[in-house]
Amino acid sequence: MTDLSIGEQFFAPATTDMVAGLHGQYRRDRQRIQQVVEFVRPDQLGNVLHYFIAGNQDRRDRFTGSVAQLFGETGAVAALDADYWQRALALTDVMDFMPAERREEWHTLIREHQAPEFSEETVRATLGALLAQRMDFLAEKVDGIFRALSREHVTNRPEGFSKRLILTGVTNDWGHYGRQQTGHLNDLRQVVAKLMNRDEPGWQASHRLVEIARREHRGEWLAVDGGALRLRCYKNGNGHLEIHEDIAWQLNQILAHLHPAAIPSEFRTAPKRAKRRHYTLMERPLPFAVLNLIAEMRPIIHHLVRNQFGDREIEPLTRNRHNLGLPFGEHDKHLVKQAGMALEAIGGVKYSAKNSTWWEFDYDPGEAIGLIVASGTVPDHQSHQFYPTPRGLAEKVAELADIQPHHLCLEPSAGTGALADLMHEPLCIEVSALHCQVLEAKGYAKIPGDFLALVDDIQAKHKPFDRILMNPPFSQGRWQAHTEAAADLLAPGGRLVAILPASSQTTFHLEGLACTWQGPFDNQFPGASVSVSILIAEAA
């Protein structure tokens, strides 16, 4: 990746046409200022304007100057210059990449009305220079992040961002986040967001991340931003940070703009190895605006309360304490829709009444919500083939299974537990870490991972199962492999009940098992136009 390609990815396009248009507006407003100055000259109307000021100001008005001071051309033009410099800079993205010290210098010039004259020649020259320096600004920012997080200079650490970073003081002596280090971590996440074409995290995003890692996943690796980063926090306040190799080499390429000889080419070019370190990037990152909305949700009142006079009790909107409601205020409907989809992916059910909107769960969703906020992801339908089993279909499967209290039960693709909820103490297998969090919150025994990869281990460590209920992934014929593997775990006299594609009735049979079918059932899964049948397979 060259500096040019970095610029195309990071920097907003800018044209000189905007300067001409903005300067035309500036000339118009400056002429109007001059007209006002002429208008209030003492030989015109200026000798009576002080009556308007004296008669219309309130007691809190501290202006005590003369009319001449109030309508002085020099001060007005200085304010005009500052305003138009603010507008000109806002038309570009230079302030986003400018180092903090330089950015503060510009803010001071504008705030104190000390900006240069807004002449077309000066504006073009200044903006041109600033736009040309964006790559320098970005490299300085990334270099500053690297030094702050690694406490090393890149010349002493040629691997740059490719090597694990040891973070000190991520949490403090009181067990909360360390403001300075989480600030640097947030700066890094802002750059990574640019590389991933995402919106940028707000200042509080990494404070929340560290709190979640410390409180709920201490000593464990926690996927961050769709797997772009991994964070592990420890009891002593320190943390480890790893950056995915597809992100690390791009950060190193930016560092190399400042230190071209410090980082060997293998650390600043895309990896060409066939075998890479294992990272999971199967899940889609949500916009930070959506994650922030989810993080701010709180349970709505779920118990009886007395009215303001204390003479009667008011029935709450719900009696379910496991709920999350939208925070007070107006919210963008698109953000609410995306947040709702994320909550529904972990088993939330939406309700609306009396100008309130909330989602209810049949378990405590706190840790699952923390995982969404930290990782930025929810299981994707296509990558995980996650289509929750509708309640009616799940009940039909459970009825056909005829589960008794003494039966040993298995759910090989448990999702959020739609089938497991109808089983007796099932063992749940689930590939999604987030869904595993949901299953754990529901109190189910779970094994994280891909069922097909775990079959031999399950067979070695567990007794055969009396009942197996399953809704396997359908794509690429995976349903057949999953069903055949599950059948190998069935105990003598056991029963397997599976939701399968309707076409499988005429093409699929489990050798050695007595198979019967029910269905087909049409349009059972929202978002998927698929017909299904139910297989009942019994072992002798």
What are the residue boundaries of the structural domains of the chain, listed by start? 3-132, 137-267, 286-360, 391-539
d(CA 35, CA 18): 26
Q: Report the candidate in 191, 201, 117 with the shortest Cα–Cα distance to residue 149.
A: 191
181-239 pLDDT, tens digit per residue, is 788 888 889 889 888 888 888 878 888 898 888 888 888 898 899 889 999 988 888 88
The CATH number of the domain covering residues in 391-539: 3.40.50.150
**What residues form DSSP beta bridges with 411?**
428
Cα angle for residues 139, 125, 18 (degrees, 5° grid): 95
For 302-335, b/e burial (b = at least 16 CB within 10 A) is: eeeeeeeeeeeeeeebbebebbbbbeeeeeeeeb
7-61 pLDDT, tens digit per residue, is 556 666 655 567 778 888 888 988 888 888 877 776 666 666 666 666 655 555 5
Other Cβ atoms closer than 10 A to 538: 15
Q: Kindly indicate the confidence band of residue 153, based on its pLDDT and cuts at 50, 70 and 90.
A: low
Angle between helices 179-195 and 3-10 (to 10 degrees): 100
d(CA 161, CA 154): 9
**531 vs 282, more confident:** 531
Q: Kindly indicate the confidence band of residue 276, based on its pLDDT and cuts at 50, 70 and 90.
A: very low
d(CA 367, CA 373): 10
Q: Inform me whether the pLDDT recorded for 138 exceeds 70.
A: yes
Q: What is the pLDDT of residue 104?
A: 82
Q: Kindly indicate the confidence band of residue 396, based on its pLDDT and cuts at 50, 70 and 90.
A: very high
Distances (CA, A) of 63 to 40, 67, 112, 461: 18, 10, 18, 84
d(CA 185, CA 174): 20
Average pLDDT, the chain: 82
Cα angle for residues 337, 342, 347 (degrees, 5° grid): 115
Angle between helices 120-132 and 134-150 (to 10 degrees): 40
Mapped onto helix, strand or coil, the DSSP state of residue 433 is helix
Amino acid letter, 520: P
Q: Is residue 467 within 8 Å of 495, Cβ to Cβ? A: yes
Q: What is the pLDDT of residue 274?
A: 46
348: left (phi over 0), alpha (psi -120 to 50) or beta: beta
Q: What is the pLDDT of residue 46?
A: 61
DSSP 50-76: HHHHHHH--TT------HHHHT-HHHH
